[in-house]
Amino acid sequence: MEQWSESLFNLLGGLGLPQEVSTIIALAVGALVLASVAPVLALVLIWITRKVISRMQDRIGPNRIGPFGLLQTVADALKLLSKEDIRPANADFLSYALAPILSVFGVILTVAVVAIAPGWIGADLNIGVLYLVALGSIGIMAALMAGWSSNNKYALLAGFRVVAQLLSYEIPMVLAMLGPVLWVGSMRLGLITEAQSLNIFGFNLGLGWFVILMPGMALIYLISALAESEQTPFDLLEAESELIAGFHIEYSGMKFAMFFLAQFLNTFFLGAIGVMLFFGGWQGPFVDQLPILGVFYFLIKAFAFYVLVMWIKGTFPRVRVDQMMSFAWKVLVPLVLSLILWQMLAMKLFGPVWLQYVAVLAGNVIAIGIVVNVLTSHFKQEQVRTKRAFGPKSLIGTMQPYAGD
């Protein structure tokens, strides 16, 4: 049992309750705390999104309701609550109602394995990393249910596209997560976070982050996480001009809000997981002496990641769906598999740990360098080809002289 449940259990046992009842109550209290994090977190995330995006667009963003517009999300939630719940005729009632709930369900369960501070984790599952991937499957089913049950051609088509995107980027994401798992030799997120300490003369500097060891993996994870949470540049399914706003066309009111809640929370939690796997989670200087600093470090890193995602959202254009799919299967999957192969070889062929470290780092950098080179030359060639095709020279001889009347 984890530290927090152990202490709660002892507290309740001291009150004289039978063993099983006190276990259940201790776990239920923890679960209640974690489940109530989600709505509060969503408020903060939506506020951050609106402020960051508006600053990117050279405007101020919400600043009237509450100090700095902090209560704007509350106002929006109240408004959405009062909207009519329009259900299309012929919609399949159970799947239609269940899909948004399942979306949020899958995301809230992620909270159970997030390690906020040394020893403070909901449940340090032995299969921590795979558990996170399994929760993605719930999101996939929810999207399919939403698309089908809306009884709308466009919703169905959009549902398919979402699922195709989610499936394509799940493989690079899982394989990128395999990197730290392979290095540490454990799937437990608490252990992976602990392994990112930098011990110099017995003092934990807390800066032995895996992003320094395997930057390529971290980059692949970042890109796949952007695609999994449907953020720019992969948010073509939300684009207003394409497919009329995606698989939640026929949803209104709170159900619609649930899909967006799921998306914001998913972005944040995927970022939090990336922070735990690659950026040290709660590790940082002086975290051994003062464990509460761990919470501070973790939150700073997780929110920094979220702001980074919003920054990307305000900066880059979207990719087309075929570009997105080719990128996943033709670039990311071979790249991440080669990185894994190199890491496996480096870990067995080289004896001393520092040599393995250098080898893995060198392999990552070289692989990313090669891929970037190949991609840039590919796109340059495409640019040249497009220019040549539409340049004036190619039209000579094909144009007819203007026959005036």
Partner 1 sequence: MIEQLNQLIEQLLIQTAPTVPSIQQVVFVMLAIPAAVAALMVVLARNLFHSALALVGTLFAVAGIYALLEAEFLAVSQILVYVGAISTLITFAIMLTRGMMYGATSPLNRQAGTAIMIMGLLFAVLSGLVASMPWPENLVALETFSWGIFSNRITGEAIIASLGQKFLTTYLVPFELMAVLLLVALAGAILLARDRQ
Partner 2 sequence: MLTQYGFILILSAFAFIVPASAVVMGWLLGPKRPDAIKTSTYESGVETIGDTWVQFRAQYYLIGLIFLIFDVEVIFLFPIALAYSQLSLFAVISAITFVLILLLGLLLEWRKGALEWN
Binding residues for partner 1 (CB under 8 A): 20, 24, 92, 94-95, 125-127, 130-131, 133-134, 136-138, 140-141, 144-145, 148, 156, 160, 163, 167, 170, 186-188
Options 181, 189, 218, 332; binder of partner 2; rule CB under 8 A:
181
H or E element, residue 257: helix 254-278
Which partner, partner 2, partner 1, none, binds residue 236 by CB below 5 to 8 Å per kind?
none
181 binds, among partner 1, partner 2, none (CB under 5 to 8 A by kind): partner 2
Q: Contact between 100 and partner 2 (CB under 8 A)? A: yes
The 243-262 site mask, x for binding partner 2 (CB under 8 A), equals -x----xx--xxx-xx--x-
Q: Does 355 bind partner 2 (CB under 8 A)?
A: no
Site for partner 2 in 155-174 (CB under 8 A): 156-157, 160, 163-164, 167-168, 170-171, 174
- In this structure, the strands spanning 120-121 and 115-117 are antiparallel
Helices (H), 82-203: 93-108, 128-149, 153-184, 189-194
Q: Which sign does the torsion angle of CA 164, 229, 106, 210 carry?
A: positive
Residues 269 and 228: their CA atoms lie apart, in Å, by: 11
Residue 136 interacting partner from partner 2, partner 1, none (CB closer than 5 to 8 Å by kind): partner 1
Q: Cα dist. 240→192, 244, 281, 332 in Å?
A: 40, 6, 36, 28
If contact means CB under 5 to 8 A according to the sort of partner, which of partner 1, partner 2, none does residue 157 touch? partner 2
Q: In the complex with partner 2, which residue's Cβ is closer, 38 or 360?
A: 38
Minimum separation from the CB atom of position 109 to partner 1 (A): 11
Cβ 126 to partner 1 shortest distance, Å: 4
* Rounded Cα gap, residues 379 and 397, in angstroms: 29
Angle subtended at Cα 398 by Cα 393 and Cα 404, rounded to the nearest 5 degrees: 115
The rounded Cα 7 to chain-centroid distance in angstroms is 32
Q: Any contact of residue 393 with partner 2 (CB under 8 A)?
A: no
Task: State how far the Cα of 359 lies from the Cα of 365, in Å rounded to an integer.
Answer: 10
Q: How far apart are CA 136 and CA 199, in angstroms?
A: 35
Q: 287-346: which residues touch partner 2 (CB under 8 A)?
A: 321-322, 325-326, 329-330, 333-334, 337, 340-341, 344-345
